[in-house]
Chains A and B, each alone.
Chain A
Amino acid sequence: MAGGMGGAELGPSSSGKKKPLDTTINLVPFIDLMAVTISFLIMTAVWTQIGRLQVSSSGGPSDNPDDNDKTIPLTLLITDKELKLTAGTSTFDPIPVIRDAKGRIDLTRLQMRIKEVRTNLPEQAAITLQPEDNVRYEDLVRIIDECIGSGLPNVSVAAAIG
């Protein structure tokens, strides 16, 4: 890359002498440009990647009346012991909260339940979460993330009643 670049030699010129085509690239301005670019990029670099999870306040079925027969009110009650999913009038068995070594909730069973609901109701896109007061923010975020990842993008959060 740096240093002398191999030059191609063309045929003999009219004078009969071979004209040397080897040229030396001046690397100093290139290195200067690189140094300035690196400094600028390091100064403006964002090292922590931050995103957002959008939640709404009111949940329930879609506002579109045509969708009412295709969707049902899907509610997930979150306590520190269990997760209780309710789809319309039917209630699934509560999922006990199991935590790993880092204290994170295992959401595999919830994921399977949501997939089950989505298989029966492919148009379903909304879910209402009802966390209790003592639920940790991290657990709530993980559950919202799981719901969005499982195909329920319209997540709304409401306070648990009772």
Chain B
Amino acid sequence: MAIQVPGKRFGKRLQRSRVFGKGKLNAKRVMTADLLITPMVDMFVIIVLFLIANFSATGDVLNITKDIRLPEAVNVKDIELVPVVMISNEQVLVSGTVIGRVEDLSREDYLNIPALEEKLRDMKKQYEDLHALANEESGKFKGDVNIQGDKDIQYKILKRVMYSCMTAGYNNINFATQTASAPKTGEQQASVRGL
């Protein structure tokens, strides 16, 4: 006969019982639990696919701040990494440098903003010097600039910024916008409804 641990010993009939067989006194419950791997791996796969579908190789080109709410547009092109002029309701900035306050600029009657022009000229010279050192043909200055303006700014300020950009040699002006989904036409809406 096998040696058994001292303690209560139930008869064979009771050992088979669900109540007494498992719930006997001083019995240690099995503490291991099986982890269901299948749903976890499924979830991982879905998350990875979703994130890859939303992956953008260009990354964050613009510094999004809460002061600047971009307008929405549908027919847009991909944004490129070029100098950015930020226009909020408070101030005008270029590459993080404050150029002036919107309130002051809107009071002036000049067409250009001299500080902005100077800054952009410096940036252009810096770009050209850098690419001249590298002897790059592809790195020719194209004059691209992004204007990241708040949707509530007035054209009066925008006009001065655009004029300054063009005077400084940045002729290809791009307005940064938030990409909106194209509105559905009547036929598309009807087909969605199953009509």
B155–A144 contact, CB under 8 A? no
Would you list 14 pairs from A and B whose C-beta atoms are within 8 A, ordered by A residue?
A2-B37, A31-B37, A31-B40, A41-B48, A48-B64, A50-B79, A51-B79, A52-B77, A52-B174, A53-B76, A53-B174, A133-B159, A137-B151, A144-B73
- B residues 151-195 with Cβ under 8 Å of A? 151-156, 158-159, 162, 166, 171-179
Which residue of chain B has the shortest Cβ distance to A35 in the bound complex? B44
The reply on A161 being an interface residue by CB < 8 A is no
* Residues of B with C-beta under 8 A to A49: 56, 178-179
- Distance from B153 Cβ to chain A, minimum over Cβ atoms (Å): 5
Which residue of chain A has the shortest Cβ distance to B77 in the bound complex? A52
Q: How far is the CA of A135 from the CA of B38 in the complex (A)?
A: 57
Residue ranges of B at the interface with A (Cβ–Cβ < 8 Å) = 37-38, 40-42, 44-45, 47-48, 51-52, 54-56, 58-62, 64, 70-80, 87, 146, 149-156, 158-159, 162, 166, 171-179
B154–A46 contact, CB under 8 A? no
The 5 A-B residue pairs whose C-beta atoms are closest, nearest first, are A51-B76, A41-B51, A138-B151, A2-B37, A52-B174
The reply on A57 being an interface residue by CB < 8 A is yes
A133–B154 contact, CB under 8 A? yes
A2–B74 contact, CB under 8 A? no
B74–A149 contact, CB under 8 A? yes
The listed residue (B146, B154, B166, B175) touching A141 by CB distance below 8 A is B175
Q: How far is the CA of A47 from the CA of B173 in the complex (A)?
A: 25
* Residues of B with C-beta under 8 A to A134: 154-156
Q: A3-B37, A46-B56 are in contact. Are A52 and B151 (CB under 8 A)?
A: no
- 5 additional A-B residue pairs with CB within 8 Å, beyond A34-B48, A137-B152: A44-B55, A52-B78, A134-B154, A137-B71, A137-B150
* Residues of A with C-beta under 8 A to B56: 45-46, 49
The reply on A38 being an interface residue by CB < 8 A is yes
- Distance from A49 Cβ to chain B, minimum over Cβ atoms (Å): 4
The listed residue (B154, B166, B176) touching A136 by CB distance below 8 A is B154
* Residues of A with C-beta under 8 A to B80: 52
Which residue of chain B has the shortest Cβ distance to A41 in the bound complex? B51
- Distance from A3 Cβ to chain B, minimum over Cβ atoms (Å): 6
Q: How far is the CA of A55 from the CA of B40 in the complex (A)?
A: 49
* Residues of A with C-beta under 8 A to B162: 57, 157
* Residues of A with C-beta under 8 A to B153: 136-137
* Residues of B with C-beta under 8 A to A30: 41
Q: How far is the CA of A49 from the CA of B79 in the complex (A)?
A: 10
Instruction: Encode contact with B along A32-44: 1 for CB under 8 Å, 0 otherwise.
Output: 0011011001101
B154–A45 contact, CB under 8 A? no
The reply on A131 being an interface residue by CB < 8 A is yes
B48–A38 contact, CB under 8 A? yes
